[in-house]
Amino acid sequence: MVMPKIRILLGFCLAVSLTALAADFWIKKPYQNWSPDETQHMLEESPWATTLTLGGSQAVAGPNPGYRGEMETNPTISYTVQFRSARPIREAQVRTSQLNAHYDKMSAEQKAAFDANASKFLDAAFPDRVLVSVTFHTNVQDYDSQLRTYWASQSAAKLNMSVYLNTNADKLSLLDYGFKEDTFQFTFPRPKQLGPDEKISLEFVHPRIERIGRQRILQVFSVKKMLVNGEPAL
């Protein structure tokens, strides 16, 4: 009985240490040195990004038409929210491109061309707006097509009463909306004042997709954790 407890404790300690390490790798080293796991962590679970999963149950018929003992599967829909106008997220996008293109094996000329394009992308400024992207994933193929149909049919005019960027003082309305493949993007006015002890949250409505019902999504982020050089990176 002692050995399993020790294994559990060691596993827990390892998980805690990995979480602590992951929490500040973007401070300790430049994005060009981020590992694939660190890059993915930045894009999916970081101060500027998070992934939330909605679940439900779905009946699956048994081997015989009259079989009553139906099995249950667990369909899920996940949304990954990213502050795309925040430089750390854009650095992770550049790093992803580096890794996919095998940057380390490029010639000097190829690296120079890549770096020039990356600099243009990273130097983009968003003084009056905040871009928040949401990518959806699902383990049910039909759900994927329904999600694409729904979000492709939306517009800023349709969503302006249900999509907001909230701060402690303001409820910022949607300025623009775009959709491509499995990702939709919201554009909001940039908050005029945002203290480090405040929270900022994205609010939108997930539509009913068969067994996963319609529900309001409210994803909260800590401004204190989003500081870069003492300023909120949005």
CATH number at residue 111: 2.60.40.1930
Q: What is the pLDDT of residues 103-133, one digit of tens each?
A: 999 999 999 999 999 999 999 999 999 999 9
CA distance 27 to 198: 21
Question: What does the block give as tokens for 206?
Answer: 């997930």
Q: How far apart are CA 182 and CA 80, in angstroms?
A: 11
**Residue 7 within any structural domain of the chain:** no
The two structure tokens encoding residue 94: 């550049």
Residues 54-80: what's their mean pLDDT?
A: 63
Long-range contacts of 226-233 (CB under 8 A, 24+ apart): 226/47, 226/48, 226/83, 226/86, 226/200, 227/196, 228/87, 228/88, 232/194, 232/196, 233/48, 233/83, 233/86, 233/87, 233/88
Say if 111 falls within a structural domain: yes
185-213 burial code (b ≥16 CB/10 A, e <16):
bbbbeebeebeeebebebbbebeebebbe
Q: Is the residue at 12 inside a domain?
A: no
Buried residues in 26-47 as b, exposed as e (16+ CB within 10 A): beeeebeebeeebbbbbbbebb
The boundaries of the domain holding residue 227 are: 25-60+70-232
CA separation for the pair 226, 228 (Å, rounded): 7
* The pLDDT of residue 109: 95
Cα–Cα dist 186/5, whole Å:
47
Asked if residue 11 is part of any domain, the answer here is no
Q: What is the largest CA-CA distance in the chain?
A: 68
Q: What's 153's DSSP letter?
A: T
Instruction: For residue range 165-209, list pLDDT tens digits in order.
Output: 999 889 999 999 999 999 999 999 999 888 889 999 999 999 999
Q: Which residues contact 156 (CB under 8 A, 6 or more apart)?
A: 174, 175, 176, 177
Give the CA distances from residue 208 to residues 139, 193, 219, in Å, rounded to whole numbers and listed in that order.
Answer: 16, 35, 18
Q: Does some domain include residue 179?
A: yes
pLDDT at 23: 57
Taking residue 87's Cβ as centre, other Cβ atoms within 10 Å add up to 17
What is the number of other CB atoms lying within 10 angstroms of the CB of residue 226? 20
pLDDT at position 35, please?
95
What domain count does the chain have? 1
The answer on pLDDT for 225 being more than 90 is: yes
**194 occurs within a structural domain:** yes
pLDDT at 19 over 60: no
Min mean pLDDT across 6-20, 76-90, 92-106 is at 6-20
% of the chain exceeding 70 in pLDDT: 83
What band does 24 get if pLDDT is binned at 50, 70 and 90? confident
Let me know if residue 10 belongs to a domain.
no
Amino acid of residue 66:
G
What is the pLDDT, as a whole number, of residue 1? 44
